[in-house]
Structure 1
Amino acid sequence: MQDPNADTEWNDILRKKGILPPKEAPKEDDETEERVPERRSVVKTYEDMTLEELEENEDEFNEEDEAAIEMYRQKRLAEWRANELKKAFGEVKEISGQDYVQEVNKAGDGIWVVLHLYKPGIPLCTLINQHLSALARKFPQTKFLKSISTTCIPNYPDRNLPTIFVYSEGEMKAQFIGPLVFGGMNLKVEELEWRLAESGAVKTDLEENPKKQIEDKLLSSIRCSLPTRKDSESEDED
């Protein structure tokens, strides 16, 4: 009897008539087709995986993939850390003396801390708290804190308020103590931002000290209002 799977002209005619079934593909080819797409899908979609999925599937990757996957893993970790930092801050947090060590001294590596000691009822303290709220939103990577002075430091004198301490990795980097340092109720948020930037607490986009611009304008207006030498001589002659 003739083999129905043989490639003969007669068998081709019988297949067209429906007498013989279509010729089956070799099993080895089927296995090859199934293996190749599976391997390609793993390589192609690793960039869409989370870090947890990468760890679960890392046994499926060969040596050629390891370098690319490690680079991608580091990239995703950096993005995750940056996002976590942004989520952590962004507002001024109220603390007490009991929170001081944990929130300030143990804030973490690379974290800058701005602590405002204040008291309710002091207008300049209220103004600075408003400015710090705006700066906390602008610089979410910096940790902004506030605390009523005597709850944070017992017997802290009111004459030293407002007070701002700037810390980094547990060490004090700058301090601003008393109303004269801040220039009174005319203090602008940009001026406070510049001072914090000088201490290293924030990375400002201001190109120069806004206080200097105000002082230059003030000096210019004073010069314009002063009488000139000729005006003085005319008045003396009269």
Structure 2
Amino acid sequence: MQVEVNPNEDTEWNDILRQHGIIPEKPKDPEPLIQEALIAAEHRAHENRLEDKDIDELDALEDEEDEDFLQQYRQKRLAELSTLQQTSLFNQVYPLQKVDYAREVTEASNSAFVLVNLTSQGANVESRVLTELWRQLATKFGDIKFCEIRADMCIEGYPEKNTPTILVYKDTEIKRQLITLRELNGPRTKVEDLEKLLVDLGALKESDVRLKKRSDSMDDYRNAGDDELNVEDYDDDWD
């Protein structure tokens, strides 16, 4: 008569069968591993609790944190700021002429990300929105080159309904293109939407200190985005 064996039971007979490879080893209880992972995650979170703090916020924690621990993060923030200052070469929107496109965009993308805004010549609301956001991003992220050219001056017969078009260059190649702001948030696109795009592209790191803070003027702009856009107030830089 065949005796059925439950391989998960803790019995002396099962131990003998396991030793001889007749039945598989009893599955390990996952709870200790889960508990260990949770403790490790909690420890990492505690160790990294100052990762998103800037210099002023670190100074405000002097009475709460160990001074040596704070100093490590101060030095790290200062090093990050120094690197950003050294790589901030652009800090403005570069208006393009077609004849200069290869030099100013394609060749320049060997040393930095270059983003081109193919904008509209008319009262295109999304073009107006992106032109304003382009200025804000160029000022904030000086290590990325932001360019702008009227679409029909760059590509003959380019349809206005496809503007604005964003072209992202790196190492002389187009890495991404967005036709209109539909993939972002349409006419309600905000700086945060474009910052997320830059992170996804690898042009910015998620830990970039410049992503941590929002100025009052940026908050005002976001609030203004909820109001109706007055296209007649738009000054076309290309006229």
Q: Structure 2-normalised TM-score?
A: 0.48
Q: For CA contacts below 8 A with separation 6 or more, give which structure has more relative contact order.
A: 2
Instruction: Pick the structure with greater CA Rg.
Output: 1
Q: Structure 1-normalised TM-score?
A: 0.49
User: Whose helix proportion is higher, 1 or 2?
Assistant: 1
